Amino acid sequence: MKISDAIFVRGAIDSDGYPKDGHQEIAFIGRSNVGKSSLLNSLLGQRKLARTSNTPGRTQQINFFLINRDFYFVDLPGYGFAKLSKKERETLLLLIEKYLAQRTELVLSILLIDSRHLPTEFDLLMKSWLEEIGRPFLIVLTKSDKLSNNELRNQVGKIKLALGVQDVVTYSSITGSGKDSLWKAILAQISNEKV
């Protein structure tokens, strides 16, 4: 995939802040530290984008990046919650839930889970929301380079079972493994919806 440009367009704290130009959207979801920024950098072949969304103040909003002036990558807030109050957690969860449930431009949601760990209660919650909205989603297991082939195969089996899904894509932002499959899935969904 040739990326001619990736531009940070805006951050939204509610639906009034969403872009209004009607481009299709691919959303990225995951707990903080799962490797979301690294994966975005790796997919886009640049460092600038994810640094932008890690800027303090932007981590608790929905960040929209316009790719090749054609579609958006939507970086949803990480739900790690280490330093957040109960109220802040609830606000964040509501922001994510509303986006997923209401956004008609959303054509594919990508839920990131660390390949080394079983899904957390929040990962399971996100997956149940994705099922509820009945639109395409994909599970990506990050940091696959941290496991041996054997360990990875084992973890893939366990995580699929825990989530009750048939397919996952394994990804490493270090080696680039999984990049072609992930782009293929993204582009298939975009052209699918355009027809």
Ligand X SMILES: Nc1nc2c(ncn2[C@@H]2O[C@H](COP(=O)(O)OP(=O)(O)O)[C@@H](O)[C@H]2O)c(=O)[nH]1
Q: Where does this chain bind Mg ion (CB under 5 A)?
A: 36-37, 54
Asked whether position 33 contacts ligand X by CB under 6 A, the answer is: yes
Distance CA 182, CA 186 (A): 6
Non-local CB neighbours of 12 within 8 Å, separated by 6+ positions: 18, 61, 62, 64
- Max Cα-Cα span within the chain: 47
Residue 34 contacts ligand X per CB under 6 A:
yes
Q: Does 155 bind ligand X (CB under 6 A)?
A: no
Using CB positions, name the residue nearest to Mg ion: 37
Find which of ligand X, Mg ion, none residue 172 binds, CB within 5 to 8 Å per kind: ligand X
CA separation for the pair 138, 190 (Å, rounded)? 14
**Mask: binding to ligand X, 85-124, rule CB under 6 A, as x and -?**
----------------------------------------
Instruction: Fill in the amino acid letter for 102.
Output: Q
Contact, 21 vs 53, CB < 8 A? no
| Integer Cα distance of 58 and 13 in angstroms | 9
Kindly compute the dihedral angle of the four CA atoms of residues 18, 22, 26, 32, in this order, to the nearest 10 degrees: -10
Question: Rule CB under 6 A: which of 164-183 touch ligand X?
Answer: 172-174
23 vs 84, which CB is nearer to ligand X? 84
Q: Are 148 and 71 in contact (CB under 8 A)?
A: no
49 vs 107 by CB, closer to Mg ion: 49
Query: What totals of helices (H) and strands (E) does the chain contain, helices first?
Result: 6, 7
Closest approach of Cβ 195 to Mg ion, in Å?
Answer: 33
**78/119 with CB nearer ligand X:** 78
Binding site partner of 173, from Mg ion, ligand X, none, Cβ cut-off 5-8 A by kind: ligand X
- Residue 44 or 190: which CB sits closer to Mg ion? 44
| 170: enclosing H helix or E strand | strand 169-170
The residue among 23 and 146 lying less far from ligand X, judged by its C-beta, is 146
Report the interface residues with ligand X, using CB under 6 A: 30, 32-38, 78, 142-143, 145-146, 172-174
